[in-house]
Amino acid sequence: MAKRPVFCPTSEGHDLVKIFSVDFEWFPGFSIKQKQRSIDALHEAARLREVGPILEISTKSSLELGSALSAFNLRLTVSPERNTTVEGAYQGSKVFDNGGPYPDLFDLTGRQIRRDQRLKNSGNLVAFEINRIQWPLEPKTVFYDWLYVSALCQNKKRAAQLLKYQAFTDIEFNPRNSINCQAHGAALYVALSQRKLLAEAISDRNSFLAVMRRYDYKEEIKGLDGFSQEELL
């Protein structure tokens, strides 16, 4: 058995996204087929709790929409001269004690980015910077979520399809090893859309931070802390 978080957008209340855990049968192995068997088991376990419809957002998704909305595939224009993926924009915007940002990463693939030693050897992460605008490290995930939501706003046809779903998962996401999750970004987009807050939220950095702080954004991120390594696999 394994455990994964499920992210559900809300149209009212103090939480933009509700996060809850689901226990399900895990199918070991690195092949896409095995990953998709685990995804199916996760979604079936969630449906037993009357959650759905559900969309897996990752390169392992069996649906074209879910794969296209992976941060490694979803693209956004960060300036008139620059178009990149969400992952490229996130990694290339990192500012460390001894270097960064590294906007040349915007032009690389996910595999190439992961191999870039500057991301490991530049000291502690201190901020994010894109288009000469700095973003803080707190609240956690806020910069990544802004990138993801902004990218969806630029891909309106894809984003419109998200509104048919009430829950999102990412089989590769491990809260013990990372904090950013594309499934959370998708749920956040739907919640902001349902609450008619999208235009306000993405207008600029301060507006996005203000909207997030208006709700229990920090608390919903803390909801991921209850997962043990053994449960996550």
Alpha helices for the chain (secondary structure H):
32-47, 64-68, 86-92, 110-115, 118-121, 142-154, 156-162, 182-194, 198-201, 205-214, 217-222, 229-232
What is the tens place of the pLDDT at every residue in 165-221? 999 999 999 888 889 999 999 999 999 999 999 999 999 999 999 999 998 776 666
Across residues 128-132, what is the average pLDDT?
A: 96
pTM score, two decimals?
0.93
